[in-house]
Amino acid sequence: MMRQLVADPPVRGSDYAELSRRIRAAGLLERRPGWYAARIASTGAFFGAVWALVILVGDSWGQAAVAVLMAVASTQVAFLGHDAGHRQMFRRRGPSELVGLLAGNLAVGLSYGWWVEKHNRHHANPNHADEDPDVGAGALVWSVEQARATRGFARWLARRQAFLFFPMLLLEGLNLHLSSLRAIAGRGPDGRFQTPMRHRGAEAFLIAAHTVGYVGALLLVMSPGKALVFAVVHQGLWGLYMGCSFAPNHKGMPMPTAADQLDFLRKQVVTARNVRGGRLVDVALGGLNQQIEHHLFPSMPRGNLRRAQPIVRAYCAQRGVPYVEVGLVESYRQALAHLHAVGQPLR
């Protein structure tokens, strides 16, 4: 079951401010243009190399293996869009949005504007069932109350969701594409667009360009049957990789309510968990394995998160704030245990 939220100390107001001063004094909020130039270049080269491999392999069933590489490359590009959305690369909005639109809409077919709006709500109230869209009731349920409210097929899923979690992630890529289209085109009963978006026309154009380019490139290189297999493998594994990158961060951690009255430091720390590992884990998870530091300082460049970790960990120990860090396998075990416990009343 979930750990209980830590009670607030009598005096809380300056806790985050003091931590922020220490992080700033260490220079960890300074932009790292050289680091990001190298990251963008290497990720772009990898993405381009996989597309070149698609052409070289041609009309062959070996494209299924190339699709696996494409899923990895697409996720790495999406991580760049995540960093751009938090303005980790540039202080100015314009360059950040340009990178986000190119990485999200054009390269992987994901609406940057929709994702930023949704992700900002998550950061404002992580793991809050009424405020965080990432733990709202949907295909999965995250609280006993959500589970008890299910009916029909949704209730059948909720009973078995811990066992179905990873298979369901194979559909996450499709869900992200459809959600992006709904966000761009969806209107309410009053005729107004439901999702706020600064560059709706550009987003629609870039996603259309992505779709035409993606489908056209596959059909030019291989037969329709092989193109379908490539797309299914690519999109399924892309969704699985994306889901596996985000699932360790909050699932199974405390879910606060308005009654908890947590200050910013505690709201961000007690609802998140870090994943242990070296540089390879940093690359594989896009820096999201340092989730606590990322939530405390969303605009901190990804390359600085590991350097901030000992400062944040020591500060949390000093203030008596639980700081959770586990291995990758354990993070999944905790998330699945939570899903299983939530579905227990229905079994």
Task: Give per-residue burial for 25-43: e unless 16+ CB within 10 Å, then b.
Answer: eeebbebbeeebeebbeeb
Query: Measured at the alpha carbon of residue 184, what is the angle toward residues 183 and 185, in degrees to the nearest 5?
Result: 95
Q: What is the pLDDT of residue 120?
A: 94
pTM of the model: 0.91
Q: How far apart are CA 70 and CA 237, in angstroms?
A: 9
Strand-pair category, 325-326 with 274-275: parallel
Residue % of the chain over a pLDDT of 90:
85
Q: What is the pLDDT of residue 261?
A: 83
Q: Is the pLDDT of residue 330 over 80?
A: yes
Q: Tell me the mean pLDDT in the region 15-39.
A: 95
